[in-house]
Amino acid sequence: MPGALVVLSGGMDSAVCLASEASTLDRKAPLLALTFDYGQRHRVEIERAHALAEHYRAEHIIVALDRAPFAGSALTDLSLDVPAASSQSTRSVPVAPRIPSTYVPARNTIFLAIAIGVAESRDLDSVTIGVNAIDYSGYPDCRPEFIEAFREVARLGQRRGVEGSPVQVKAPLLLLDKAAIVRLGASLSVPFEMTWSCYRGGPDPCGSCDACELRRRGFAAAGIEDPAIRDRRLSEP
Amino acid sequence: MPGALVVLSGGMDSAVCLASEASTLDRKAPLLALTFDYGQRHRVEIERAHALAEHYRAEHIIVALDRAPFAGSALTDLSLDVPAASSQSTRSVPVAPRIPSTYVPARNTIFLAIAIGVAESRDLDSVTIGVNAIDYSGYPDCRPEFIEAFREVARLGQRRGVEGSPVQVKAPLLLLDKAAIVRLGASLSVPFEMTWSCYRGGPDPCGSCDACELRRRGFAAAGIEDPAIRDRRLSEP
């Protein structure tokens, strides 16, 4: 029975990926949600990831990554400011994106490397990651050519690949714009109010960083109200 | 000034890589040795790695990898036996190697992913790994095609790659046989007595596992006495 692993950040994109896998997988097949704790500012993401995993009855694994040897990203280095929104929205995939200070060196390479290792050791057939190259922040490791290169690594570097059934690396959101991701999530009944997008640490989304701005525009373009905003509005006096 | 990172296990191959980088690098350039603690049986390797890093005046970083989500390798799962020697020695690179139970899913993919991340965050130009596809244990992630695929990942997934100067992934021992590695190390005055090869945990090398057998044959073919064996012989009553 084919099992699946989903890299789950607690953001809306990875929540849609988890919903998609949960909807197609046999009910008895193993579903694993893998969350990385890399000292990110937005730690509320990890709590949201756990709640989402429970919602989809996925086994939730949190892998702690030692960030001591790393330096220089605004997402993990608390001495750097998170910049205000300046994301790139494009219909074509940019060849040489402008890379913001929130870039974390080799983040998706590290996430995928550990994900395919965990998947193989647990005999799961696929790894799904919610990267997106259309409405995105300009990270090089969110582009189709990166995902394609990583598939080769999985095919050539693992026992399963040598044996002819490599761990599949799936990136179903790669070429969707944010509005399409919102619509896909809505069609799968994703509890968007449980997801967290903001790069800053809360308690409420800041509304001004790249991630907040992408989310706002995505819901607006899809013509759907963001339930996280609705819930906040309803809870206000 | 170009700096370098070497993935250092404490075994003889990575020690030769470290010696090689130390010999070519400017004396003032940063040299970083990166060791992974992934719950391996042969923990004495980590102590040897530290001594080697000190010997070469490299900054030594030990990255702890969470092994909880992994299962099923004889090198980390203490309930499995380490098999006796059956390594593959070949002049050509095998297309479909027989993979032993000591295989660790995605190990070199994970090591290299973290290594290129650390290298980029510290502005180091290269990552060197001592993989070898000739006298080796049959791991798929020791083959030239795997290294080539990973280079593409580094080129496409990192800021440095997008900017035209990707972190170089170097595998100088890839096509050397063990005797050639021994001779290269001897020419660089590698303190082989400080290195540890055995897959079992000591206190002395078992002499019967894959790694011990490869090491014994390498020194024999090079016509050089293994100083680790010599030291043990001299210390016996």
* Residues with Cβ within 8 Å of residue A96, at least 6 apart in sequence: B162
Closest-CA distance of chain B to residue A218, Å:
25
Return the residue matching tokens 């496409």. Answer: B156
CA B141 to chain centre: 12
Average pLDDT over residues A159-182: 95
Contact B128, B5 (CB under 8 A): yes
Average pLDDT over residues B19-29: 95
Domain count, chain B: 1
* The pair of three-digit structure tokens given for residue B112, joined into one six-digit string: 């290299």
Chain segment B32-48, per-residue pLDDT in tens: 999 998 776 667 889 99
Contact A226, A215 (CB under 8 A): yes
CA B138 to chain centre: 14
| CATH number, domain containing residue A120 | 3.40.50.620
- pLDDT at position B90 over 60: no
Chain segment A199-236, per-residue pLDDT in tens: 777 678 888 888 899 899 999 999 999 998 888 778 77
Contact B91, A142 (CB under 8 A): no
Chain segment A70-123, per-residue pLDDT in tens: 765 555 554 555 556 554 444 444 444 567 767 788 999 999 999 999 999 999
**Considering only CB atoms, which chain A residues are within 8 Å of B121?**
69-73, 105
Contact A10, A195 (CB under 8 A): yes
Residue A166 or residue B232, greater confidence = A166
DSSP result, chain B: ---EEEE--SSHHHHHHHHHHHHHS-TTS-EEEEEEES--S-THHHHHHHHHHHHTT-EEEEEE---TT----TTT-TTSPPPBP--EE-SS--SSPPPPTT--TTHHHHHHHHHHHHHHHTT--EEE----SSEE---GGGSHHHHHHHHHHHHHHSHHHHTT-PPEEE-TTTT--HHHHHHHHHHTT--GGG----SS--SS--S-BHHHHHHHHHHHHHT---HHHHHHHHH--
A153 closest CB neighbour out of B63, B66, B109? B109
CA B236 to chain centre: 30
Cβ distance A156 to B145 less than 8 Å, yes or no, reads yes
pLDDT of residue B72: 57
Chain segment B58-88, per-residue pLDDT in tens: 999 999 888 777 765 555 554 555 556 554 4
B140 closest CB neighbour out of A113, A145, A159? A159
Cβ distance A105 to B159 less than 8 Å, yes or no, reads yes
Residue-range definition of the domain harbouring residue A72: 4-235
Closest-CA distance of chain A to residue B198, Å:
22
Cβ distance B153 to A149 less than 8 Å, yes or no, reads yes
Q: At what angle do helices B107-121 and A107-121 cross, to 10 degrees?
A: 170
* The pair of three-digit structure tokens given for residue B237, joined into one six-digit string: 């009553």
Cβ distance B114 to A108 less than 8 Å, yes or no, reads no
Cβ distance B140 to A118 less than 8 Å, yes or no, reads no
Chain segment B190-204, per-residue pLDDT in tens: 999 999 988 777 678
Residue B164: phi and psi, rounded to 5, are: 95, 0
Average pLDDT over residues A129-138: 83
Phi-psi region of B77 (alpha: psi -120 to 50; beta: other; left: phi over 0): beta
**Considering only CB atoms, which chain B residues are within 8 Å of A159?**
99, 103, 105, 140
Residue A75: phi and psi, rounded to 5, are: -75, -25
For residues B108 and B81, give the distance between their C-alpha atoms in angstroms, rounded to a whole number: 22
For residues B66 and B63, give the distance between their C-alpha atoms in angstroms, rounded to a whole number: 10
